[in-house]
């Protein structure tokens, strides 16, 4: 038990009286969705430095117990966290330059030419080469460091992560050797290297490989420190992984037998979703599909390692496109649309039984169960007690009664979102919604919509869902300019950043007040 005085005077919607309350840690939790790249940071992109710690402090002040992020893996073409070079590695762009300076691996002068941009968006075109340059400088100093503790930490990290790190570092070194081209465009010997060639390449590219070991060591060192800080403040982190991996990844390259690839490495079928109300041609994602028979033969070792790795980094794990474990849409490679795909059976409960056998029951997994979900998918989700997702914006897009409306929730075992990274912000959505939708929102939430973003948050918090999560953009009342991702649009995504002064004490107090009001 702890006694907390809460100033319930908020400047967002209304004034509240001041009161002393006594409470126990709630079983109903809430939190904020924010990817670390969106933090302010003086170095052009949000990172794992001081501004991330300041955000954790804001979560604590505002009474939140959850911090949801996007995948932490290194991004490829399009800067999407859902198209990564590895399902295990960390994002080098998140490494804090200030921390490198503290470690004695960089000097202040080396940070002076940082392309800071406008502060509201990440300019990936300028920040990626600059970050790569300073990481290379830090590596050069690391090779000559006399810091025994740092070297011991580095060795311990390598020994604990060698099972994925060797393939990843070799893949990235070979990729650099081929001017960044995808591995299917490499020479035959490099596309499907023999063990003897790998051994020779490790000697030939030893310095480049060690560089990638070093960068990953830095990322994990910083991430674990930040996670520890959050957990000590009673804040748990919800991570995210896509069900499929990128074709141009160390995972596909080093484990070709685990994917539906031909003898030259090309996919025989790729992932997507069929035509529906939103798209007459479906969505062609292009990710390689798993060879589930091969995974089963190996006892689902790769998947178990992936989940174990992620749950070591996170407290909860959201799996994107969960329905693909029950059945997935397979599109013949070379098709221009997803129309000519077919449904194929996934591993179903067999996979999760294997993971439970290795990691234990009651896995802290959240199932992304949006879209057209069948009773079979729901059965699989419920068999393992995985919370599903309810997105409030979806509840008001139709004249029909919707299962996304809070009064229709049939279980507390779900996560209620105002919106996700793929949605417009709540304020932006409301601005362009139909008059019918806006009227339905106003009547349902009993509001004049003057603070519509906070109305969405309040409705989310007041639902019976055990977990309530809302993007920081909704907390701040940001409009369309704050949208993180627009599916189907190739450019301009993943770039939004908030300003340091936005996280005010008055905002934290108002959010804390309404959070406590609904028992979270």
Question: Quick check: is 368 catalytic?
Answer: yes
Per-residue tokens: 490: 């190739």
Question: DSSP labels for 165-227?
Answer: HHHHHHHHHHHHHTTT--GGGS-HHHHS--HHHHHHHHHHTHHHHHHHHHHHHHHHHHHHHHH
Give 134-138's long-range contacts (Cβ < 8 A, gap of 24+): 134/97, 134/100, 134/106, 134/110, 135/92, 135/95, 135/100, 135/211, 135/215, 135/218, 136/211, 137/105, 137/106, 137/110, 138/100, 138/103, 138/105, 138/106, 138/214, 138/218
Name the catalytic one among 51, 368, 369, 474: 368
CA distance 461 to 449: 17
- The contacts of residue 134 (CB under 8 Å, 6+ apart) are 97, 100, 106, 110, 111
Over the range 292-322, which residues count as b (16 or more CB within 10 Å of their CB) and which as e? beebeeeebebbbebbebbbebbbbbbbbbb
Task: Transcribe 286-354 into DSSP letters.
Answer: EEEPB-HHHHHHTTTHHHHHHHHHHHHH-SEEEEETGGGGTEEEEEETT-SSSTT-EEEE--THHHHHH
Pairing verdict, β 388-391 and 365-367: unpaired
Is 509 an annotated catalytic residue?
A: no
The one-character DSSP state at 425 is: P
> What residues does 270 pair with on adjacent strands?
288, 331
Tokens of 353: 């039984």
| 417 and 389 Cβ atoms separated by less than 8 Å | yes
Residue 422 annotated in active site: yes
* CA distance readout (Å), 514 to 111, 189, 397: 42, 61, 26
If phi > 0 it is left, if psi is from -120 to 50 it is alpha, else beta; for residue 141 that is: alpha
Alpha-carbon separation of residue 269 from 249, 264, 272 (angstroms): 17, 14, 10
Among residues 248, 320, 424, 509, the one annotated as catalytic is 320
Active centre residues (catalytic): 320, 368, 422
């Amino acid at each position: 038990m702890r006694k907390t005085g809460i100033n319930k005077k908020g400047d967002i919607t209304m004034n509240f009286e001041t009161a002393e309350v006594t409470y126990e840690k709630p079983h109903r939790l809430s939190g904020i969705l924010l990817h670390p790249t969106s933090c302010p940071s003086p170095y052009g992109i949000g990172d794992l430095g001081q501004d991330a710690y300041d955000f954790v402090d804001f979560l604590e002040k505002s009474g939140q117990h959850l911090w949801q992020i996007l995948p932490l893996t290194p991004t490829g073409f399009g800067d999407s966290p859902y198209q990564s070079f590895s399902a295990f590695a960390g994002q080098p762009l998140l490494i804090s330059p200030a921390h490198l300076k503290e470690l004695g691996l960089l000097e202040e002068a080396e940070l002076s030419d940082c392309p800071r941009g406008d502060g509201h968006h990440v300019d990936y075109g300028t920040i990626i080469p600059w970050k790569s340059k300073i990481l290379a400088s830090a590596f050069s100093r690391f090779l000559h460091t006399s810091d025994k503790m740092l070297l011991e930490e580095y060795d311990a990290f390598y020994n604990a992560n060698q099972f994925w790190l060797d393939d990843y570092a070799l893949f990235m070194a070979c990729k650099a050797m081929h001017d960044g081209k995808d591995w299917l465009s490499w020479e035959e010997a490099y596309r499907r290297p023999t063990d003897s060639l790998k051994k020779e390449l490790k000697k030939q590219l030893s310095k480049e490989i060690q560089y990638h070991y070093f960068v990953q060591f830095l990322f994990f060192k910083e991430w674990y420190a930040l996670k520890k800080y959050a957990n000590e403040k009673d804040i748990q982190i919800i991570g995210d992984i896509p069900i499929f991996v990128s074709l141009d990844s160390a995972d596909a390259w080093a484990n070709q037998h685990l994917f539906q690839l031909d003898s030259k490495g090309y996919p025989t079928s790729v992932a997507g979703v069929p035509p529906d109300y939103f798209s007459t041609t479906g969505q062609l994602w292009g990710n390689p599909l798993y060879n589930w028979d091969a995974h089963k033969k190996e006892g689902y070792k790769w998947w178990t390692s992936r989940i174990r790795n992620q749950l070591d980094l996170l407290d909860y794990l959201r799996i994107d496109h969960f329905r693909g474990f029950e059945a997935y849409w397979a599109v013949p490679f070379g098709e221009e649309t997803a129309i000519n795909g077919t449904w194929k059976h996934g591993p179903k409960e067999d996979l999760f039984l294997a993971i439970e056998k290795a990691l234990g029951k009651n896995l802290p997994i959240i199932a992304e169960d949006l879209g057209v979900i069948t009773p079979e998918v729901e059965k699989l989700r419920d068999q393992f007690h995985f919370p599903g997702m309810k997105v409030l914006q979806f509840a008001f897009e139709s004249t029909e009664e919707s299962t996304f409306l809070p009064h229709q929730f049939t279980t507390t075992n779900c996560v209620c979102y105002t919106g996700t990274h793929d949605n417009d912000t709540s304020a932006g959505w409301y601005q362009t919604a139909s008059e019918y939708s806006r009227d339905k929102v106003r009547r349902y939430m009993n509001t004049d919509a003057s603070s519509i973003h906070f109305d969405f948050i309040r409705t989310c918090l007041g639902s019976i869902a055990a977990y309530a999560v809302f993007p920081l953009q909704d907390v701040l009342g940001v409009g369309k300019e704050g949208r993180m991702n627009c599916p189907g649009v190739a450019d301009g995504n993943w770039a939004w950043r908030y300003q340091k002064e936005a996280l005010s004490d008055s905002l934290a107090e108002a959010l804390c007040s309404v959070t406590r009001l609904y028992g979270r």
